[in-house]
Amino acid sequence: MEKYNAGKYDIAVIGAGHAGIESALAAARLGCTTAVFAINLDSVGNMPCNPSIGGTSKGHLVRELDALGGEMGKAADKYSIQSRMLNLGKGPAVHSLRAQIDRRDYSKGMKHTLELQENLDLRQAEITAIEKREGGWLLTTRLGAEYLAKAVILATGTFLGGKIYIGEAAYESGPDGMFPATELAESLKALGLPLRRFKTGTPSRVNRRSVDFSKTEIQLGDERTVPFSFETEARPENKAACYITYTNEKTKEVILRNLHRSPMYSGKIDGKGPRYCPSFEDKIVRFADKERHQLFIEPCGLETEEMYLQGLSSSLPEEVQLEFLHTIPGLENAQVMRTAYAIEYDCVDPTALKASLEFKDFDGLFGAGQFNGSSGYEEAAAQGLVAGINAARLVQGKSAITLDRGGSYIGTLIDDLVTKGCSDPYRMMTSRSEYRLVLRQDNADIRLTPLGYEIGLISEERYDRFLEKQAQIAAERQRIEEKSIPLSPALNEALEACGTAPLAKGCKMIELLKRPQVTYETLAAFDDERPELPYEVFEQVEISVKYEGYITRQEQQIKEMRRIEAKQIPADIDYSALKGLRLEAIEKLSKIRPENLGQAGRISGVNPADIAALNIILESMNND
């Protein structure tokens, strides 16, 4: 096919899913001419799996993304149809926002956002090859167009070498029946990228009118909703309900009887599936003693009757899926609109990347999202933002921005990927962070908005509002430290009602708030000087008071972590020539090539004695 020169860009983004969107918007908003390529423009911002954003720890990622200037939180608020804060029965460290989304409106809205963005061209084109050229990267489309870009971001999702499995049927495909990117996969392998095969899956969708909701439990949204974006002024409305039902022994029997027909168990699928979001047949095998499994029936939007069966992912044959589906209360007569499937795809070993998400061995080439071995829309978007920022800074001759584990869940996510790698699709969880009391979803703006402003993705107006909020928090903290609450029978009655001991005399308001059961609302009737402030201000003050000792301790741990992280390791160091390191440590350090001593200490197979020896070597090198 004859080729032709189609243009030049600062940055080219391959893929317009959640990672590609954030990459492209960040790069364009930072002043770089940007092109984003999608095989099908109807796949922009698509949600081929669950129609929701957020969830445990994932909500943290979205709020951090927003604090840095990303787009996902704003769009999630705009197209939310139900909002819930998860884990409210536990401490604030694990409170996580989750919203049910109108998936079609979200996709259309994100596409329109890209279309309106200055410096950004949105193109429906399949990139079939990329190659390194002087001054950048050459991208070739299936139609023979050639684009030259100074930097490229690979955000291919599950399209790269995509293959669908449903029982004995298997065929090349991207998600939701889209075309796969097969030629690009071969081009990346020829380039020398360390690709491997992962697998994920999605449940059936059923028609709402065929579901008997009288046999299910209704799940409503929160009475007081919380937006993802710190810029959203109106709180999201709950416009839809979700429902809960359970599988049973009959369901289990159908699965076990047909297990040999699952490509997961017949050996047809080689790719590693997600450990924390397994297929339903995998659940039945792994949790053989469990009598039932919870299942959520969730709406895909307000103007569609499609319902998503959360927790029922499968790759069994279509007729088997129908059989086990009809054993479940409420779904006995369910009409399937979309059959569940597994999808196998190519992704890269993320240890080949720097913390900036640029490849160590390929200048100007970045990876983001599921291409990096992660799972989930939120993980993808977070990486996309970081890749977009750093691609722009590379083009502009600026140093890379890297987020560390002590400052964000985004930093934890990226550090886990590039330092530890992943043997199956990586999913973010609150337990992955050592500092989760400091890295709460409610204070993401405090932690990251100053950085977003410094980078250039937070406007002056938004930053001024942020500073005003911080001033309000500081003033309210000072007020409660000085405010006295006199002793009264009504006060002691209120204290006893919330399960705490009465007072013998009056005290400062801050002392009362230190009690776990006492809240601002408990003291409202006794606080005649309470100012008119947003709920979020009181929330920040109350958490800082109740958890002050624990927060201080974690902040000290973060300070020590950063002291170690500051010890940089030369990029060209030859570990095999260093004395005092074990052979396994030399092998692992040579493969990962950590950027600093802290990162080196988190590599599996490198022990504290190796780090101590490496520290001595680095100090002697610096002294020389």
CA angle 345, 22, 79 (to 5 degrees): 95
Q: Of 80 and 281, which is predicted with more confidence?
A: 80
Residue 255 has pLDDT above 90, yes or no: yes
Span of 110-124, 276-290, 432-446 with lowest mean pLDDT: 276-290
Determine the Cα–Cα distance for residues 59 and 225; give it in Å rounded to an integer.
14
Query: Average pLDDT in the 77-106 region?
Result: 97
Residue 426 has pLDDT above 70, yes or no: yes
Q: Which two tokens stand for residue 440?
A: 């709460």
Q: Which two tokens stand for residue 449?
A: 């908005």
pLDDT in tens, 98-150: 999 999 999 999 999 999 999 999 999 999 999 999 889 999 999 999 999 99
Determine the Cα–Cα distance for residues 581 and 239; give it in Å rounded to an integer.
60
Q: Which residue has the tokens 């930093």?
A: 411
Provide the whole-model pTM. 0.96
Residue 449 has pLDDT above 70, yes or no: yes
DSSP 57: T
CA 531: distance to chain centroid? 36
Determine the Cα–Cα distance for residues 446 and 539; give it in Å rounded to an integer.
13
Residue among 45, 36, 178, 19 at smallest CA distance from 107? 45
Residue 624 has pLDDT above 80, yes or no: no
Q: Which two tokens stand for residue 24?
A: 């492209």
pLDDT, position 113:
98
Buried b (16+ CB within 10 A) or exposed e, 45-55: bbbbbbbbbbb
Outline where DSSP puts E strands in 187-340.
Answer: 195-202, 205-207, 217-219, 242-246, 294-299, 306-310, 336-338
Determine the Cα–Cα distance for residues 406 and 105; give it in Å rounded to an integer.
36
Query: Average pLDDT in the 587-609 region?
Result: 92
Determine the Cα–Cα distance for residues 351 and 432; give it in Å rounded to an integer.
18
Contacts for 111 with CB less than 8 Å, ≥ 6 apart: 16, 41, 44, 45, 122
pLDDT, position 1:
74
Buried b (16+ CB within 10 A) or exposed e, 512-534: bbebeebbbebbeebbeebeeee
pLDDT, position 579:
87
Q: Which two tokens stand for residue 410?
A: 């985004």
When the pLDDT of each residue in the chain is averaged and rounded to a whole number, the result is 95
Determine the Cα–Cα distance for residues 16 and 111; give it in Å rounded to an integer.
9
Residue 276 has pLDDT above 70, yes or no: no
CA angle 66, 535, 236 (to 5 degrees): 55
Residue 303 has pLDDT above 70, yes or no: yes
Residue 265 has pLDDT above 80, yes or no: no
pLDDT, position 273:
61
3-state secondary structure of 317: coil
Q: Which two tokens stand for residue 347?
A: 């992704």
Determine the Cα–Cα distance for residues 275 and 259; give it in Å rounded to an integer.
19
Q: What is the 3-state secondary structure (H, E, C) of 402-450?
A: CCCCCCCHHHHHHHHHHHHCCCCCECCCHHHCCCCCCCCHHHHHHHHHH
CA 18: distance to chain centroid? 10
Around 384, how many Cα atoms within 13 Å sit in the side-chain half-sphere? 39
Determine the Cα–Cα distance for residues 51 and 81; give it in Å rounded to an integer.
10
Query: Average pLDDT in the 499-524 region?
Result: 93
pLDDT, position 81:
98
Contacts for 163 with CB less than 8 Å, ≥ 6 apart: 170, 171, 172, 173, 180, 343, 344, 345
Residue 277 has pLDDT above 80, yes or no: no
Q: Which residue has the tokens 């279509």?
A: 318
Residue among 187, 164, 185, 183 at smallest CA distance from 174? 164
Residue 453 has pLDDT above 70, yes or no: yes
Contact, 277 vs 313, CB < 8 A?
yes
pLDDT, position 399:
97
